[in-house]
A and B are shown apart, each in its own frame.
Chain A
């Protein structure tokens, strides 16, 4: 018996050793690749190395820029981009504060977390004179609560979560949040997983503020939210639109980029701009306080503010365009999706005090438990 186990150990050791060798040896040069297309990638990276050691570490979610733009920037400037990704805003802040505002050169994240990052002294003031395209920014998206004097951030897209549904499977017209509670939608609603956005939506449906700090009101929203539970198919932050596309759900409350992706994949889907009120958020780009390559970060920011580049970026990203000059370049058929609606009352999710935060967290946990 011992012998047998030993034998297995030895075989697996061989697997490991050979696998490791093959992996290590194979990775840089990829000799085992079929077809031979693989020569492209290494030559590309050699090029960037040859043109100097300038580097830029960007820290944001996955899929924030189209690959072509990153390549174009690398080629034009000779700066090598290191694209580091995070999962959630909070993970970003945790990493950034662990690094004492260093390690990363440019961060793009959500409004409320930027307020925290600024309060912790992790963000440096921008010298806007270094950005010749600064004037392209649409001022509507500036001077928000997290950066009232526009000292720290450049807006990088805005979003309004909307309801999207499949008219073939929903036999009435959805006009607002309250329609999500409709009994005919049993087990067919997909929601994003941001607790403040979902509870905020419920609060708006009740005619309250998304940022209420009154525990009683939050609890009441929690009660109402629990009644939604039988209708909920899934709660997920990423790719929620896929649930709609592959038939898992017939209605979904989605972030702007997801609305965009859903409609691009299936133009028959219908969008509802809820009548009760809208939530609103801005993503901002900032340079951390101890960024090792801030000069490169400015170069990148300026590049992204260029009208044509920004237009390309927003077409890929699917958030509302925060660049006035780029807005003019957006093709007619995409305008509705990429230009934010005007004249609506909108509210941003802001940070609330500890007691309220605890209540929001509790209500959220109760809601999820009720969905099960």
Chain B
């Protein structure tokens, strides 16, 4: 980190020199904390990724490219591919459900908007693990869904949904949907609906009006929802573990494997570095496309 020489550079906006030191002081805790406890660990991770795993246990301070070369092995490349595939399909489903939800929600009356907002927020105050567990109860071979169908008089075989790809997809979509709903909602809520009216008055079909006006205006929300869904879904390994029976190898679970059974921290660090570069690029792309520095909806 390049540290500024003193407050001299800081005073410009306020104009007054005596003020600059105060301004600098207010930012100081953030700078210190960020450099020590965020940048520090991340730099350490980078260093670790170039070190060698010791025989048995631990890390040797010997420089190597080997950890990165290992990622090029087809097995591990395939893991990245699988993670991407899951992340893309999750994001797609989340868009398909979350976008109309946010959109329709923005059209509700004030009272209903408030109620909806609460309904979305309440689950946040329970444990996300427990909500996953609820899905397990539902999807088990002889779980709640099976029992309900049987109770209704249909004779079906025990379900084989749990521990399959669809089960993981359900869990991922379920966990990440609220972020999309909120992002799109916040974008659609800010939107100037008279523009849509105007487009309609000028003779645009509802579809055309939606595509050329609404979609465009809600794009920041949609894109930020995509980021908020896509980035975590690259790393959310415990959903795949719990609902997928550990059969889908994601980058997150691969890292977890290296940290636990593999006891291979340098390799885990290398995987993490690659994953981080990928997500960073994505966020960078988002900022370039939307010309904004923050994500819509959450902030």
Q: How far is the CB of B228 from chain A (nearest CB, A)?
A: 17
**B291 interface residue per 8 A CB criterion:** no
**B141 interface residue per 8 A CB criterion:** yes
**A353 interface residue per 8 A CB criterion:** yes
Q: How far is the CB of A19 from chain B (nearest CB, A)?
A: 8
Whole-angstrom distance between the alpha carbons of A236 and B241 in the complex? 8
B114 touches A8 (CB 8 A): yes
Contacting residues, chain A, for B73 (C-beta < 8 A): 362
B247 touches A120 (CB 8 A): no
A246 touches B141 (CB 8 A): yes
**A233 interface residue per 8 A CB criterion:** yes
Contact for B246 among A19, A234, A247, CB less than 8 A: A234
Whole-angstrom distance between the alpha carbons of A368 and B264 in the complex? 18
Whole-angstrom distance between the alpha carbons of A368 and B261 in the complex? 14
Contacting residues, chain A, for B158 (C-beta < 8 A): 247
Contacting residues, chain A, for B55 (C-beta < 8 A): 353-354
A236 touches B246 (CB 8 A): yes
**A119 interface residue per 8 A CB criterion:** yes
Contact for B261 among A4, A7, A88, A119, CB less than 8 A: A88
Q: How far is the CB of A255 from chain B (nearest CB, A)?
A: 15
B117 touches A90 (CB 8 A): no
A372 touches B141 (CB 8 A): no
A91 touches B82 (CB 8 A): no
Whole-angstrom distance between the alpha carbons of A358 and B113 in the complex? 54
Counting chain B CB atoms within 10 Å of each CB, the highest count among A193, A196, A351, A365 belongs to: A365
Q: What per-residue 1/0 map shows which CB atoms of A211-250 lie under 8 Å from chain B?
A: 0000000000000000000001111100000000011100
A248 touches B163 (CB 8 A): yes
B56 touches A234 (CB 8 A): no
Within 8 A of B (CB), among A264-290: none
Contact for B163 among A195, A233, A362, CB less than 8 A: A233
**B259 interface residue per 8 A CB criterion:** yes
Given A4-B113, A246-B142, verify A365-B82 contact (CB < 8 Å).
Answer: no
Contacting residues, chain A, for B264 (C-beta < 8 A): 357-358, 361
**B165 interface residue per 8 A CB criterion:** yes
**A369 interface residue per 8 A CB criterion:** yes
Q: What per-residue 1/0 map shows which CB atoms of B92-123 lie under 8 Å from chain A?
A: 00000000000000000010011001000100
B75 touches A366 (CB 8 A): yes
Q: What per-residue 1/0 map shows which CB atoms of A186-199 lie under 8 Å from chain B?
A: 01000001111000
Within 8 A of A (CB), among B137-153: 140-143
**A50 interface residue per 8 A CB criterion:** no
**B41 interface residue per 8 A CB criterion:** no
B261 touches A195 (CB 8 A): yes
Could you list which residues of chain A lie within 8 angstroms of chain B, going by C-beta atoms?
1, 4, 7-8, 12, 15, 19, 87-88, 90-91, 93-94, 97, 115-116, 119-120, 187, 193-196, 232-236, 246-248, 351, 353-354, 357-358, 361-362, 364-366, 368-369, 371-372
What are 13 residue pairs bridging A and B, where the CB atoms are less than 8 Å apart in the complex? Answer: A12-B121, A94-B259, A116-B57, A195-B257, A234-B247, A246-B142, A247-B142, A247-B158, A248-B140, A361-B262, A362-B73, A365-B75, A372-B244
